[in-house]
Structure 1
Amino acid sequence: MRERKRAECWAALHDAAAEVALQDGIESVTVDGVADAAGVSPRTFFNYFPCKEDAVLGLREPVLDDAMLSGFDVRANLLDEVGKLMLAVTRSIQGGDDAIRHRIMHKYPHLLHRRVQYVIKVEQLVTTAVSELLADSDRLADAERILAAHPVGGQYTAEDTARMLVLTAGTALRFAMQKTMSQPTLESQTEALEHSLALLRAVLKESE
């Protein structure tokens, strides 16, 4: 019951902020006005959103739960696995109606910087999780032997490998997000991500 009420309050605040932004302009959105429209106090507003821009876009803190991690196969293609995990966590930062958010972003492109801040949080969260998964496995053993034979020498670490995987998969994910901006459903984004990762591997192979 408590979680349902929190979800309803979050939605009421987001809906009120988005409606004002689309009808009257982003400059007309105020914390007091949004809170009043949702039937809560301004103090309650800040229990859900740190600023009015996040309320307008329907942004929330990223979530990486056990269910997401249970589907991660450390023995499979790591780029694919990290890409899928990043997509799941990225979708957790977005609430509300995708079509409305698309209209708002199109009308106020300067709000993109707020979403970028949340994407950075996603990257940090996934990097930490993947680093721990790699450290607990023997997946990097072969990679370490390969790098040791390379002229530059050096050593792979779980943290560095995780960060590289996240940044690389993030490139493919951004490409997929751009491709599906007009229809950002889970199905369309998943399919676009698969194509993006395949293209990325092809580009990297051609550049060898």
Structure 2
Amino acid sequence: MSQQPSLRDRKRAETWAALHAAAARRAIKDGLDCVNIDVVAQEAGVSTRTFFNYFPCKEDAVLGLQEPSVEQTALDAFDIEGDLLTEVSRLMLSVLRTLQGGDDSNELRSQIYQAYPHLMHRRYQYILKVEQLVLETVRAQLGESRRWKDQAPDSAWQGHSVDDVAFTVVLAASTRMRYVMQKTWSNPTHTLQFEALGEGLELLRDVLKEVL
């Protein structure tokens, strides 16, 4: 059973969403250079000091980006003994979805990226953080897994370190995230993104059969 968010968590989510909405509206209406943090905070009903408790800079507020996290529900669903590429890809998508709060609507963000394409680099920096979090999780769990400890002498992993294997699997999963984001850009809902992930994994396996 999933735990209901506390009143404090709900209030924090509401404040985060209000700051993002105010900053994004200002960027679309007045231009990114004219987004004023004091005005954004005032429109969201908080102090400027509070703004910096939620966002390190106005660009992150405009884009609605926040530090990624590995939520307990994602960890509980992750099975290191299962199909490794599928499990790591699903974990990465779950962590990727923590980057953005609020609803699943992408219309406003799409307008902002079209107007200010250089901000895509800012998003990419956060995606690198997602990959690092997933890598740390996979590396730790793989090293303690039965599949690693009980591998046969002729296993394909023999001669490779757990760090290198984990990195390679995470890198492969990252390519599927690009597929998911491309396929669901206009409507990045939870359901559609995980459906696109399944399609992308099937495609990857079919392509690898032909090229390997």
State if a TM-score over 0.5 links the two structures.
Answer: yes
What is the total number of aligned residue pairs between the two structures?
A: 203
| Contact 1:179/1:192 (<8 A) preserved | yes
Once residues 16 and 59 of structure 1 are traced to their aligned partners in structure 2, the CA distance between those partners, rounded to angstroms, is 14
| Of 87, 102, 107, the match for 1:99 | 107
| Of 167, 172, 187, the match for 1:168 | 172
Shift of 1:146: 2.6
What pairs with 1:145-160 in structure 2 (closer than 5 Å)?
145-147=154-156, 155-160=159-164
SS class of match (1:33): helix
Q: Give the direction of change, closer, same or farther, for the CA distance of 1:68–1:108 in structure 2 (3 Å limit).
A: same
In structure 2, the residue matched to 1:83 is 89
Shift of 1:12: 1.2
Shift of 1:17: 0.2
Q: CA RMSD in A?
A: 1.7
Shift of 1:145: 3.0
SS class of match (1:182): coil
| Of 124, 134, 139, the match for 1:126 | 134
SS class of match (1:142): coil
What pairs with 1:134-145 in structure 2 (closer than 5 Å)?
134-140=142-148, 141-142=150-151, 145=154
For residues 8-63 of structure 1, give each alpha carbon's deviation from its aligned partner in whole angstroms, at most 9, with x where no partner exists.
21111111001011111111112122112112222211100011010001111111
Once residues 91 and 146 of structure 2 are traced to their aligned partners in structure 1, the CA distance between those partners, rounded to angstroms, is 20
Structure 2 counterpart of 1:198, one-letter code: E
Structure 1 counterpart of 2:205, one-letter code: R
SS class of match (2:67): coil
Q: TM-score scaled to structure 2, two decimals?
A: 0.89
In structure 2, the residue matched to 1:183 is 187
| Contact 2:93/2:177 (<8 A) preserved | yes
What pairs with 1:25-44 in structure 2 (closer than 5 Å)?
25-44=31-50
Q: Which moved more, 1:77-86 or 1:28-37?
A: 28-37
Once residues 16 and 199 of structure 1 are traced to their aligned partners in structure 2, the CA distance between those partners, rounded to angstroms, is 40
In structure 2, the residue matched to 1:117 is 125
Once residues 169 and 180 of structure 2 are traced to their aligned partners in structure 1, the CA distance between those partners, rounded to angstroms, is 16
| Contact 1:143/1:156 (<8 A) preserved | no
Structure 1 counterpart of 2:116, one-letter code: Y
SS class of match (1:130): helix
In structure 1, the residue matched to 2:14 is 8
1:67 matches 2:73: yes
1:50 matches 2:50: no
In structure 1, the residue matched to 2:4 is none
Residue identity over aligned pairs, in percent, reads 53
Query: Structure 1 stretches of 5 or more lacking a match?
Result: 149-153
For residues 73-130 of structure 1, give each alpha carbon's deviation from its aligned partner in whole angstroms, at most 9, with x where no partner exists.
2222100101100001000011234222222222221111111111111101011111
Q: TM-score scaled to structure 1, two decimals?
A: 0.91
Query: Structure 2 stretches of 5 or more lacking a match?
Result: 1-6
Once residues 109 and 143 of structure 1 are traced to their aligned partners in structure 2, the CA distance between those partners, rounded to angstroms, is 49
For residues 171-198 of structure 1, give each alpha carbon's deviation from its aligned partner in whole angstroms, at most 9, with x where no partner exists.
0111111111111111111111111111
Q: Give the direction of change, closer, same or farther, for the CA distance of 1:40–1:205 in structure 2 (3 Å limit).
A: same
